[in-house]
Chains A and B, each alone.
Chain A
Amino acid sequence: MSNAVATDVQVAPNMNGSPRNASEAVAKSLKRRYAAEKRFRAYGLVAIIFAALCLAILLVTIVGKGYSAFTQTMIRLDITLYPQDIDPDGTRDPDVLSTANYQKLVKQAVQDLFPEVTNRRERRHLQEIISPGATYHIRDAVLEDTSLIGQRLVIEVPVSDDLDQFNKGFISGDVPEVERRVSDKQIAWFNRLKDRGVIISTFNTTLFTAGDSREPELAGIWGAVVGSFFTMAVTLLLSFPLAVGAAVYLEEFAPKNRWTDLIEVNINNLAAVPSIVFGLLGLAVFINFFGLPRSAPVVGGMVLALMTLPTIIIAARAALKAVPPSIREGAFGIGASPIQVVTHHVLPLAMPGILTGTIIGMAQALGETAPLLMIGMVAFIVDIPGGPLDPSTVLPVQIYLWSDAPERAFEERASAAIMVLLGFLIMMNAIAVVLRKRFERRW
């Protein structure tokens, strides 16, 4: 208190005094001002560094965990395709070919790798080094080229996911045998196979072409990608026209009164509603009331459209507001009707902004999980969906499912799927940025 009074008394004569005193005061306060500015900059810098660090840690962990999923350990098998096992009658009927007992052939081929293993239990143990999916590889090869029947086929098939993880170094041979998922024997066999040169590492195409599977080495994200695509398509088709229509009406035509104010407040609130609530709504209305199918991209798309609507409406209204009134006046002035003013001038000028908002809304929807869990898009689905009515899942839900799975190999694939999802999101945001830059202020 007394201090403040003292300064007041000191300052007052200065103010009334000569200009030299005033400039002294300015000089003094300058120092303080610069110090404040420096401090502020330092805070900003620290905040940015912290954010960048977090991002870096996130990316490094994901990439570090996930990059190995892009390769798959394969074994080169030497298989004799006995005609009596595949096509005893020689009909070459695809039905017969696709249901033949390839497992027997694979078993034989694996057995032949180590003829010295004779014990029944050990034999079974030996079979476990091969992925159960090996039979599909052979079936597909035969279906593709029937002339292979009766020949010897050298084919690369995936090893079991545990050996794959062992090969990638995620399972150490140093820990006690009971604590790891591969046995000493398997490791010994695997090392001998490696010495023989039949173990190879290839690009994991399965990851990008297959649907989900119980076996990690057979599981892929393609089913989820396609499901995401259908879901996004439905979301876009529903939310874009609805949101643009609503925004144009509210911004250009609606009278400004208490009702439109109320609607505006509600739209803004809607943007803040937890997404799971939209999932509950979708479950109650779309599935239970309208009887739409469960786990289907249509319903997922509708739910996400509800969620995206406010985002696009708000962005679109901002974009429409940013169109200078002089453009509207100019068009009105030569006799354009209100709808012509909107469609010929205002909307095209606002479109980049609207599209930016739409892309950001879609990116949000693409990464959304919670509401889709409510409507059953979390089911285990092996088949690639053929349309928006087929049961399917989406990328983020697939990630959720895989990161929940016990196998180490699924964890790696979950990280890989996150990388793919991030890739899509970065791409979408990049497009939004380019749009914004490209069409910035043309008037």
Chain B
Amino acid sequence: MADSTPQAMPQEAAPISEPPPAAEPLKTSTDSGNGAVKFASRKVCVYYGEKQALFDVDLDVLKNKVTALIGPSGCGKSTYLRCLNRMNDTIPICRVTGEISLDGVDIHSKAVDVVHLRARVGMVFQKPNPFPKSIYDNIAYGPRIHGIASSKGELDDIVQSSLEKAGLLKEVHDRLQEPGTGLSGGQQQRLCIARAVAVEPEVILMDEPCSALDPIATARIEELIDELRENYTIVIVTHSMQQAARVSQRTGFFHLGELVEFGETEQIFTNPQDERTQGYITGRFG
């Protein structure tokens, strides 16, 4: 948001004179074998009007990894996720401060256009929300507005390959002109993933993508997330700890707007450092 830019700018200039703390490497391109940092956020605070929803969140999203965000409901997981593609811009009362960089570039800086950012960072929502258009048009919409395809044939290819990547092609290849809203819930959610994939994003954000789905559809999506990891960086919000454990490599635990603990998924689930994390994953609250 507008307020965040002036605050973020000096920080960007700062690192040279003021070396970052060792525990929190800032914008390093590699992280000792863990891969490149895709998103780096530092001191991210979010306010809804007067109410602060996120407090100083520092979090690195690694490339080609699945990062899971867990925590009790209302703790700010979605809010954080929506910072990454600046979806919070669409909420008038929402204000974001702190620094978030994608590939080392501050996403709030003038160099980054929000439309371009959202093309690079796709999003899948909690409730499947296909457009009330045909399956084909749902997927073709993104490429069309971004002018990605230069011909009808190319667009057809994009639609096919996106459906393929979302594991939906087999089920719908013969009814691309039928409305996307006529699919089952799980299929709709995969259609939304295909729609996000179609604009060739680098990162896909998923906000509880399985919460409205039955276990079988959930399993399909989880498989899909694992496949997509090869080519995309994925950040997934989930309220299911099992899901986080199954699909993610890194996990962050949010509580009351704070990022309490963040690290390797295995470590978070087997050996949590913070007692709040421990309490949550052992089911004592949340």
A324–B129 CA distance with the chains assembled, in angstroms: 9
Which interface class (under 10, 10 to 19, 20 to 34, 35 or more) fits A? Answer: 20 to 34
Q: B141 contacts A344, CB within 8 Å?
A: yes
CB distance from B102 to the nearest CB of A (A): 14
The reply to whether A326 and B129 contact each other, CB–CB distance below 8 Å, is yes
Is the pair A333, B131 in contact by a Cβ cutoff of 8 Å? no
Question: Which of B34-42, B51-59, B192-200 is near enough to bind chain A?
Answer: B192-200
Contact pick for B131, options A337, A340, A345, CB 8 Å: A345
Answer whether residue A443 sits at the interface, using C-beta atoms and an 8 A cutoff: yes
B181 touches A329 (CB 8 A): no
Is B123 interfacial (CB-CB < 8 Å)?
yes
Contact A330 B130 (CB under 8 A): yes
Question: Is B85 positioned at the interface, with any CB of A under 8 Å from its CB?
Answer: yes
Kindly list chain B residues whose C-beta atoms are within 8 Å of the C-beta of A327.
Answer: 129, 131-132
CA distance A332 to B131 in the complex (A): 12
A329 to B86, CA, bound (A): 12
Chain B residues, Cβ within 8 Å of A443: 132, 181
Q: Which residue of A lies closest to B117 (CB)?
A: A335
B119 proximal to A (CB < 8 A): yes
Kindly list chain A residues whose C-beta atoms are within 8 Å of the C-beta of B47. Answer: none
In this assembly, does A79 line the interface, its C-beta being within 8 Å of a C-beta of chain B? no
Q: Are A330 and B87 in contact (CB under 8 A)?
A: no
Among A327, A334, A337: residue with most chain B CB under 10 A: A334
Q: Specify the chain B residue showing the minimal Cβ separation from A336.
A: B145
Q: Are A334 and B199 in contact (CB under 8 A)?
A: yes
Chain A residues contacting B124 (CB-CB under 8 Å) are: 333
Do B87 and A331 touch (CB < 8 A)?
no
- Whole-angstrom distance from the CB of B129 to the nearest CB of chain A? 4
Contacts A333-B85, A336-B145 given; does A328 touch B90 at CB 8 Å: yes
List chain A residues, Cβ under 8 A from B198: 334
- Cβ-based interface call for B48 (8 A): no
Contact B123 A326 (CB under 8 A): no
In the complex, A421→B24 CA distance in Å?
77
Q: A329 near B129 (CB under 8 angstroms)? A: yes
Return chain B residues, CB-CB under 8 Å to A349.
132
Annotate A305-343 by CB proximity to B: 1 below 8 A, 0 otherwise.
Answer: 000000000000000000010111111111111001000
Which residues of chain A are near B141, meaning CB under 8 Å? Answer: 331, 334, 336, 344
> Is B132 a contact of A334 with CB atoms below 8 Å?
no
CA of A331 to CA of B115 in the docked complex: distance in angstroms? 11
Q: From residue B135, how far is it (CB to closest CB) to chain A in Å?
A: 14
Instruction: Assess the A255–B192 pair: CB atoms within 8 A.
Output: no
- Contact, CB under 8 Å: A442 / B181: yes
Residues of A within 8 A of B165 (CB): none
CB closest chain-B residue, reference A332? B90
Contact A326 B145 (CB under 8 A): no
Q: Could you tell me which residues of chain A, from 399 to 424, have a CB within 8 Å of some CB in chain B?
A: none
Chain B hits for A345, CB < 8 A: 131
Chain A positions within 8 Å of B179 at CB level: 442
Contact A333 B87 (CB under 8 A): yes
Given contacts A326-B125, A329-B87, A340-B145, contact A335 B92 (CB under 8 A): no
The answer to whether B145 and A333 touch across the interface, beta carbons within 8 angstroms, is no
Contacts of A334 in B (CB 8 A): 118-119, 122-123, 141-142, 145, 195-196, 198-199
B220 located at the interface, meaning its Cβ lies under 8 Å from any Cβ of chain A in the complex: no
For the complex with contacts A330-B131, A443-B181, 18 further pairs of A-B residues with Cβ separation under 8 Å are A326-B127, A327-B131, A329-B129, A330-B192, A330-B195, A332-B90, A332-B118, A333-B125, A333-B196, A334-B118, A334-B122, A334-B195, A334-B196, A335-B115, A335-B117, A335-B118, A335-B199, A340-B145
15 contacts between A and B (CB under 8 A): A255-B92, A330-B129, A330-B192, A332-B90, A333-B87, A333-B118, A334-B123, A334-B141, A334-B142, A334-B198, A334-B199, A335-B119, A336-B145, A345-B131, A443-B181
Tell me the B residues contacting A by CB distance below 8 Å. 85, 87, 90, 92, 115-119, 122-125, 127, 129-132, 141-142, 145-146, 179, 181, 192, 195-196, 198-199
